[in-house]
């Protein structure tokens, strides 16, 4: 593997589009109102549903000069019985206007199906590329519930955080393309003493992805590789609800036994929905939902992960072809789509336990995983 430049020189200025989205994410997470600017000139003033109170709703309406609506994913609307088509995002309104209590009810992951308080709620699909739709996408990037109170109207105030809808839509791809190596160090591991960890950071200073390089991979041949999405509960705490901890330790052991390879540790907790939302999904699983339906109940897709960061990391490591340790055909397809040749899929199966049997069964029957 060729040497990597990790000199602590000054980082190049981040593209303005990445910075704008990063600031908007931070503002939304802290309960502020963000102005999302559509290509058609529309302005959606957006507030995370989790931050909706009587005071913040009143402030939002005053700022926009229009009554607020709740924007949710089409999946969430269908869970509530308020959307029958395949709309990407749906606007929800109610007779007499939204209240903080109604917003909380509509966004509550534990609510599904008809409910007496939803009798006056009406639904209207939003265009997939409009400012309202990208407001919901911004909430996903912020790892909040994908539900946003929006009011379309007045131009943004001078001190308001603003972001273009197009920049939100392109953020994950642009951030992945901007990854660069920022640090590396030798880190002997149990069973893999000849290992080093390489950190990759996007240009906007976002969360780092990591590569665990074991031995000295020959990049002129397909490199034994594992894509592993971070799992705090499984990797660190040894949770029995999933097989992530087994897969992480097993991949390190298998790569070490093979002599060399790479494990990419990707910052995509909970199949891309974040730790807090994963815990919400766990609560739903305790109520009888399977792992995929729990995500859909929250309003997310069954898998929100992307694989551009993995492909970019491999390119920076000089790796163009891999033998991929995975049971998930989607990872094979996604790496190939992003320019990395998958010479072989190497099965990566571990025994089930009493706590994750249903989880693994769902991955096989509904997620297409090959066990």
Domains of the chain: 16-172 (3.90.870.10), 180-268+305-365 (3.40.50.10990)
Active site (annotated) includes residue 196: no
Confidence band for 6, pLDDT divided at 50, 70 and 90: low
Residue 74 pLDDT exceeds 80: yes
Distance CA 18, CA 275 (A): 23
Active-site residue, selected from the candidate residues 23, 303, 323, 345: 303
pLDDT at position 120, please?
Answer: 84
Residue 371 pLDDT exceeds 60: no
Mean pLDDT of 354-361: 62
pLDDT at position 359, please?
Answer: 56
Residue 317 pLDDT exceeds 90: yes
Active-site residue, selected from the candidate residues 63, 143, 241, 305: 305
Distance of CA 324 to the CA centre of its chain: 22
Mean pLDDT of 85-103: 89
Find, among 33, 27, 36, 310, the residue nearest to 168 by Cα. Answer: 36
Residue 109 pLDDT exceeds 90: no
Distance CA 133, CA 79 (A): 18
Angle of the 16-29 helix axis to the 165-177 helix axis, nearest 10: 110
pLDDT at position 11, please?
Answer: 62
Active site (annotated) includes residue 305: yes
């Amino acid at each position: 593997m060729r040497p990597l430049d990790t000199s602590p020189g000054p980082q190049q200025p981040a593209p303005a589009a990445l910075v704008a989205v990063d600031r908007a994410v931070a503002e939304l997470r802290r309960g502020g109102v963000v102005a999302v600017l559509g290509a058609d000139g529309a302005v959606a003033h957006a507030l995370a549903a989790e931050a909706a109170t009587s005071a913040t709703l009143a402030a939002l309406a005053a700022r926009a000069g229009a009554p607020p609506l709740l924007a949710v994913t089409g999946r969430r609307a269908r869970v509530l019985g308020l959307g029958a088509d395949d709309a990407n995002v749906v606007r929800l309104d109610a007779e007499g206007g939204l209240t903080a209590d109604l917003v909380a009810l509509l966004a509550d992951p534990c609510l599904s199906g008809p409910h007496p308080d939803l009798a006056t709620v009406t639904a209207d699909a939003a265009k997939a590329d409009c400012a309202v739709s990208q407001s919901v996408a911004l909430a996903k990037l912020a790892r909040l519930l994908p539900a946003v109170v929006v009011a379309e109207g007045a131009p943004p105030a001078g001190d308001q955080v603003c972001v273009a809808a197009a920049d939100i839509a392109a953020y994950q791809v642009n951030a992945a393309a901007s990854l660069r190596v920022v640090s590396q160090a030798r880190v002997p591991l149990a069973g893999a003493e000849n290992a080093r960890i390489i950190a990759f950071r996007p240009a906007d200073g976002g969360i780092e992805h990591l590569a665990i390089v074991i031995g000295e991979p020959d990049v002129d041949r397909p490199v034994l590789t594992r894509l592993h999405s971070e799992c705090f509960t499984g990797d660190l705490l040894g949770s029995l609800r999933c097989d992530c901890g087994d897969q992480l330790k097993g991949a390190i052991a298998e790569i070490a036994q093979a002599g060399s390879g790479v494990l990419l540790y990707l910052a995509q907790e909970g199949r891309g929905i974040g730790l807090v939302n994963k815990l919400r999904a766990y609560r739903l699983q305790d109520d009888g939902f399977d792992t995929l339906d729990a995500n859909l109940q929250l309003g997310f897709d069954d898998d929100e992960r992307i694989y551009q960061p993995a492909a970019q990391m491999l390119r920076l490591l000089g790796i163009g072809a891999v033998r991929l340790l995975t049971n998930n055909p989607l990872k094979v397809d996604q790496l190939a789509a992003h320019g990395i040749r998958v010479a072989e899929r190497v099965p990566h199966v571990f025994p089930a336990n009493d706590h994750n049997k249903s989880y693994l069964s769902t991955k096989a029957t509904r997620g297409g995983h090959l066990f």
